[in-house]
Structure 1
Amino acid sequence: MIQFYAPDIASTLTLPESDSRHAVKVLRMTEGDTLQAIDGCGLLYTCRLVEAHPKRAAVEIIESRLQPLPWAQQLTVAVAPTKHMDRMEWMVEKMTEIGVNRIIPLLCDRSERRELKVERLEKIAVSAMKQSLKAHLPIIDALTPLRQVAALMPEAQRFVGYCDPSVPRRELSHIYSPHKDTMILIGPEGDFTPAEVSLMLEAGIVPATFGDNRLRTETAALYALSACHVIDSSHSPEH
């Protein structure tokens, strides 16, 4: 099954140029063919192609229905971008596939990367959303200083993972409450500074570990996000 991404399809009744080209040139779709499009906000549209134009394929909407996310809470991951952009892109792709509501690139004292092109990450998230048959596109923030992020979501459960063992930490799986709004903070490759750790602790963010192994930045983010989903699943009504 192929899903096209058309955020304005309800008002324009056309596919964006890239998706139009894919439908008409690659898939050889013609007038009368049926296709599915998503708007990134949870709506899935069943459409009929009425003009097979390779730059602005026109459609008729047959049906629209809401595709709810499999999880009810807000899952936010705030993570310092990696030095090598390909690792950051891979992480965004996999977090989108696994399931995340918001990704906040963190600007920290030891950040290796202090500039970030969010547009590139958004394109990768769109592809991952379509590939994993989701209808919700995660929000990707601009690079944001840690101090600002530490003030976000005060009503949620918030966890920070870091390597410094001087502050007592508990395993995430032992302190995570299922189905509750959650934010997870992951530092840069050089870890958070002691001052940054103090700032987060003062903000009420709970220190956590993700097992006995020292993980790369992107691995820690994926591990923590996956752990939330696994714990949620084990506490779902059917279990």
Structure 2
Amino acid sequence: MHLFYTPDIKSEFYTLPEEESKHCTRVLRLHNGDTIYLVDGQGSLYTAIIQEANNKKCQLQIIDKQIEYGKLPYYTHIAVAPTKNIDRMEWFVEKAVEIGVSEITFLLCEHSERRQLRLDRLEKIAVAAMKQSQKGYLPLLNDLTPYHRFIQKSQPSSTFIAHLEDDATKSIKDHYVFGEPHCILIGPEGDFSPAEISTAYEAGIRPVTLGKSRLRTETAALVACHTLNVLHDIFAPL
């Protein structure tokens, strides 16, 4: 399936932007009459026929629309402090989108080593991962958010904090509720500060452990994402 990201479809005719047109005609070598597929990042999958295989303005006609394509039957939100090495965070975004994630928020914590973020770059990586894994939904990516502000807006019953302190003894599985949204907080490379952990507890957020191994930030975030994905499959009704 040749999949293209087209968030601005409004009629039965559509023109691919120049970059996508070149990819369609020069890389994939598609021609007039060939079928391609378009996603808008909000669950709509369009079937289109190439009317004019122009490498700058490839003209298409939409012949079919499918809604809720690839919709996740669960809502996974990972709130993570970006790593100093941005390549690691880009890797996490790519892999989380491939696995299946609904929302990612980047946290600004006391021990954060990265205090600036190019969200546009991460969004491009998310789009590429969405197309590569043939998904219909583009996860919501939230810019750097101060930790305390995030805690104030969180839902305590469905939000959990993964840290390295001894009182984090229960796993995500122990708190998992099928059909409910889940948000996991992942700290920076120096972990959450004691004050931040206390703030989470005071808000009613419970701690979880991701296992006995000490994980890098991006690894911990991906483990949390994958764990929720697997738990849904395990607890889903037959």
TM-score, with length taken from structure 1: 0.94
CA distance in 1, matches of 2:128, 2:31: 23
SS in 1 for 2:10: helix
SS in 1 for 2:113: coil
> Which residue in the other structure is 1:199 paired with?
199
Is 1:233 matched with 2:213? no
CA distance in 1, matches of 2:130, 2:72: 15
151-160 or 100-109, which moves further after superposition? 151-160
Q: Deviations over 1:171-218 (max 9, x none)?
A: 222222222111110000000000100111111111000111111111
> Which residue in the other structure is 1:6 paired with?
6
Deviation of 1:156 (Å): 4.9
> Which residue in the other structure is 1:94 paired with?
95
Is 1:220 matched with 2:220? yes
- Residue 108 to residue 54, structure 1, CA distance change in 2 (3 Å): same
CA distance in 2, matches of 1:139, 1:156: 21
Q: Is the 8 A contact 1:9 1:15 kept in 2?
A: no
Matches within 5 A, 1:85-234: 85-154=86-155, 156-165=157-166, 167-234=167-234
SS in 2 for 1:151: helix
CA distance in 2, matches of 1:48, 1:210: 47
TM-score, with length taken from structure 2: 0.95
> Which residue in the other structure is 1:18 paired with?
19
Q: Deviations over 1:40-90 (max 9, x none)?
A: 000000001112122221110000001344533321100000111111000
SS in 2 for 1:229: helix
53-62 or 134-143, which moves further after superposition? 53-62
Q: Deviations over 1:146-192 (max 9, x none)?
A: 11211234265111101122x35312222222221111100000000
Name the count of aligned residue pairs.
237
Deviation of 1:21 (Å): 1.1
CA distance in 2, matches of 1:228, 1:237: 16
CA distance in 1, matches of 2:154, 2:98: 23
